[in-house]
Amino acid sequence: MTARQVNQVKWLLETISNAVESYENDTHGIYFDYDGTIGLLEQVKMLVTESARCPRPADLPEYLPWSENLYNGDEVFNPYVYDGSMSVEDYEKMRELMEDNEEIVPYLV
């Protein structure tokens, strides 16, 4: 992600918002493909949500595997990859307990 990309997304959103507001307030009845636009914006919203990533924290110990995917509650918890949803200490305790109990937790993809 660069500042240029962020600014371009913001500019596009502002341009769309301004156009919609302008057409809404127009006395000549100007309109556009509202349904098509709504469909595309819903796709963009989904893309933004599903492609969001979290970079590896700088202070995370190197020996911990990191998952940059954001957890949204729908995924199956993967105990073999640290995702930041708990403290490092709690994650290590959980892993130790799993190893002590020789517990094998299947991870479904």
Sketch the domain layout of the chain as residue ranges. Answer: 3-50, 57-109
Q: Are 84 and 55 in contact (CB under 8 A)?
A: no
Kindly give, in sequence order, each residue whose CB lies less than 8 Å from that of residue 24, ignoring residues fewer than 6 positions away. none
19-62 residue pLDDT tens:
999 999 888 989 999 999 999 999 999 999 889 898 999 999 99
Q: If you average pLDDT over residues 91-100, what whole number do you get?
A: 88
In 3D space, the residue among 60, 47, 67 whose CA is nearest the CA of residue 92 turns out to be 60
Cα 43 to Cα 1, 21, 70, distances in angstroms: 20, 21, 19
pTM: 0.64
The span from the CA of 26 to the CA of 21, in Å, is 9
In DSSP terms, 69 is beta-bridged to 53
Q: If you average pLDDT over residues 7-12, what whole number do you get?
A: 97
